[in-house]
Amino acid sequence: MLRTVVSGLALAAMLGGAALAETFEVQMLNKGADGGRMVFEPAFIHAQPGDTIKFIAANKGHNAELNKGMMPAGAEGFKGKINEEIEVTLDAEGIYGVICKPHFAMGMVMTIAVGDAEVPENFFEGRVPQKAKERFEAQLANLATN
| Annotated binding-site positions for Cu cation | 62, 100, 103, 108
Number of H helices and E strands in the chain, helices first, is 2, 8
**Adjacent-strand bridge partners of 89:** 52
Contact 28, 64 (CB under 8 A): yes
Task: Report the binding-site residues.
Answer: 62, 100, 103, 108
What is the rounded distance in angstroms from the CA atom of residue 45 to the CA atom of residue 43?
Answer: 7
CA distances to 62, 88, 128, 136 from 143, rounded to whole Å, are 26, 21, 20, 12
Alpha-carbon gap, residue 53 to 27, rounded angstroms: 11
The strand pairing partners of 56, in sequence order, are 27
